[in-house]
Each structure stands twice: as structure tokens, then as C-alpha cells.
């Protein structure tokens, strides 16, 4: 079996560790931010969850749905939180289809540090848009991941799609 390495992930994880020492949970901080503020990555806020762009995305449009309640235990997610997580993932899928027209998606959560979670103390759920050919030689040979769209421009486009979808 061939293995593909993503060395940029370790830099990301190391930066999170440094931030945690000084500031606490990044998701708890982001929960306080206003989705209408164009300077942050919050896309949508619900009653139990909020949706954000990933600062270190695997692909353009990589979104995460995060419960407000600080927990790392999947089995502690309440029925209300669980229902809203999936409603918000469905809304995110619709908005991403409208804005970016992906050919598919990866969806999931990394539970625990050993599963690949960069932020393991606050559970969150990923929705990553995918296109045919979006994996290439850059991360392997160049040790870099190319994200071809500015995050705040992506936010603006997605906020417009959310506004339209939520009517």
C-alpha cells in the first residue's frame, strides 16, 4: 500500500497546541463571533451549533459544524444537538453545491487525537467538497496544499447562498 503524507497537517496541529496554551478552546471562542462579521470564518449560527470555514482546509469550501457545548465525547451529544448537526450539514451541502458545484463530498468527524483530530477537546463535524482530480502532487512533492480561493471571499459567497436557502 502506498502512503501519502500531509506534512502541513503537523504544522497546523503544532500551531493549535501553541494557541491552546494561551487562549483556551478555539471553537468556544469562535462561538461568540457574529456570522455577519466579514472578518471571521463563521458562516451560520443555529440554536445548538454553528458552522465555520476550516482555517486549514483540505479543499476550498471545507466547512465544519460545531456544537456550542464544549464536549469531546460523541456519545454525549444530545438528540437536539445531533438533529441540528445533520440539518446544518445538509444546509452546508446545499450551499456548497450552489456556490462551488462540487462533484462529491467527504463528511465525518475525527474522534480523539489518534484519529487525526487537530482539535480533539471539542467535537466538530467536517464537510469537504470534492472534485475529480482535486488530489495532486503538490502535498506529496511540494509539501504544500494549494487552496485556490481566499477564505473570506468563500465566506461571502457561502453567506449569500445561506441567506438565499434560509429565505
Q: How many whole angstroms separate alpha carbon 121 and alpha carbon 74? A: 11
Per-residue pLDDT tens listing for the chain (167 residues): 455 555 555 665 566 556 555 678 999 999 999 999 999 999 999 999 999 999 888 888 999 999 999 999 999 999 999 999 999 999 999 999 999 999 999 999 988 888 777 888 999 999 999 988 776 544 444 454 556 678 889 999 999 999 999 98
Residues annotated as part of the active site: 124
Domains of the chain, residue spans? 41-166
- Entry pTM: 0.80
**Residue from 135, 129, 127 nearest 103 by CA:** 129
CATH, domain 41-166, list 3.20.20.70, 3.30.70.100, 3.90.550.10, 3.30.428.10: 3.30.428.10
The CA distances from residue 56 to 11, 52, 110, in Å, are: 10, 12, 15
Exposed/middle/buried for residue 45 (C-beta within 10 Å: 0-12, 13-18, 19+): middle
Amino acid at each position: 500500500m502506498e502512503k501519502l503524507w500531509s506534512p502541513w497537517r503537523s504544522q497546523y496541529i503544532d500551531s493549535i497546541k501553541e494557541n491552546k496554551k494561551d487562549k483556551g478552546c478555539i471553537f468556544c471562542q469562535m462561538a461568540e463571533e457574529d456570522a455577519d462579521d466579514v472578518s471571521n470564518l463563521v458562516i451560520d449560527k443555529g440554536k445548538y451549533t454553528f458552522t465555520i470555514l476550516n482555517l486549514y482546509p483540505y479543499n476550498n469550501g471545507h466547512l465544519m459544524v460545531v456544537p456550542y457545548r464544549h464536549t469531546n465525547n460523541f456519545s454525549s451529544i444530545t438528540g437536539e444537538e445531533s438533529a441540528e448537526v445533520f440539518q446544518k450539514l445538509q444546509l452546508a451541502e446545499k450551499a456548497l453545491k450552489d456556490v462551488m458545484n462540487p462533484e462529491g463530498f467527504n463528511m465525518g468527524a475525527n474522534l480523539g487525537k489518534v484519529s487525526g483530530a487537530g482539535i480533539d477537546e471539542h467535537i466538530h463535524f467536517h464537510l469537504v467538497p470534492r472534485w475529480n482530480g482535486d488530489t495532486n502532487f503538490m502535498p506529496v512533492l511540494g509539501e504544500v496544499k494549494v487552496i485556490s480561493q481566499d477564505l473570506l471571499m468563500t465566506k461571502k459567497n457561502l453567506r449569500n447562498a445561506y441567506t438565499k436557502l434560509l429565505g
